[in-house]
Homo-oligomer: A and B are copies of this chain.
Amino acid sequence: MDPSTEEKIKEAARRLFMQQGFEGTKTRDIAKEAGINLALMNYYFRSKQNLFDIIMLEHMESFVKGIAVGFNDTSTSFDEKIRFYANAYIDLLTLQPDLPLFIMTALRSNPALITERLGVKKMLMTSHFMQQYTEAVAAKRFAPIPPMHFVMNLFGLTVFPFIARPFFQAMSNITTDQFNAMMQERKQQIPHWVHAMLEVRP
């Protein structure tokens, strides 16, 4: 069955907002892309800003909760969680490569979004994964990487290539397919790299 008109508008808006940002996207473009009339957008969503906020929140939830669930699974080990994270995120970003840049841009102009509407702090820094991290490094004889640096490294190794993809593709003349193949390689490597960093003495 055909998607509802409301859903067609949201799909078009998702695509356009993600590629061109809030100011760069015109309501006329959304209507045309959705194959409907301009007035219908306001009928369903009242205003462009409201439509953007709805889409933004949905994206942030998929972005944040995608990790949160796996990170709080008490049945998996620390290493398993790292493998899970790398796999899940690289798959997510391969399908939606513009997601990180979109979210970070929106967060810069409205940092309160992530604190108010999503319990990011609770979901990540106090997660079962971070508890396991603390236990893992406590067993070592030397002071470990502070948790925040560890999280920055793990996320950076995973997300940054997607954010800087135009830069890397220009550097190496690779196609998007080849880029995606490289990201598949990273699924295997990131757990090893993270593990090696944990052995570094400060």
Interface residues of A (CB under 8 A from B): 19-24, 98, 101, 104-105, 107-109, 111, 114-115, 120-121, 124-125, 145-146, 148-149, 151-153, 155-157, 159-161, 163-164, 166-174, 182, 185-186, 189, 192-193, 195-197, 199-202
Chain B residues, Cβ within 8 Å of A98? 108
A149 to B114, CA, bound (A): 30
A155 with B166, Cβ < 8 A, contacts A21-B21, A101-B108, A171-B125 known: no
Would you call B157 and A153 a contact (CB within 8 A)?
yes
Residue from B120, B146, B151, B168 in contact with A170 in the complex, judged by beta carbons closer than 8 Å: B120
Q: Contacts of A171 on B, CB cut-off 8 Å?
A: 120-121, 124-125, 148, 151
Chain B minimum-CB-distance residue to A173: B121
A108 to B160 CA separation, bound complex (whole angstroms): 14
Closest to A188 in B: B202
Given A98-B108, A151-B171, 9 further pairs, Cβ under 8 A: A19-B108, A121-B172, A125-B172, A149-B185, A156-B159, A160-B163, A195-B200, A196-B197, A196-B200
19 A–B contacts, CB within 8 A, in A order? A23-B23, A23-B24, A104-B164, A104-B167, A107-B167, A114-B170, A120-B171, A121-B172, A125-B171, A145-B189, A148-B172, A152-B157, A153-B157, A153-B193, A155-B160, A156-B159, A189-B200, A193-B197, A195-B200
Known: A149-B186, A197-B193, A200-B196. A104 touches B163 (CB 8 A): yes
Residues of B within 8 A of A108 (CB): 19, 98, 101, 166
Is B157 in contact with A157, judged by CB distance below 8 angstroms? yes
A147 to chain B: closest residue by CB: B172
In angstroms, Cα B170 to Cα A199, docked, is 28
- 4 interchain residue pairs of minimum CB distance: A156-B160, A23-B23, A156-B156, A107-B166
Find out whether the CB atom of B149 lies under 8 angstroms from the CB atom of A155. Answer: no
A169–chain B nearest beta-carbon distance, Å: 7
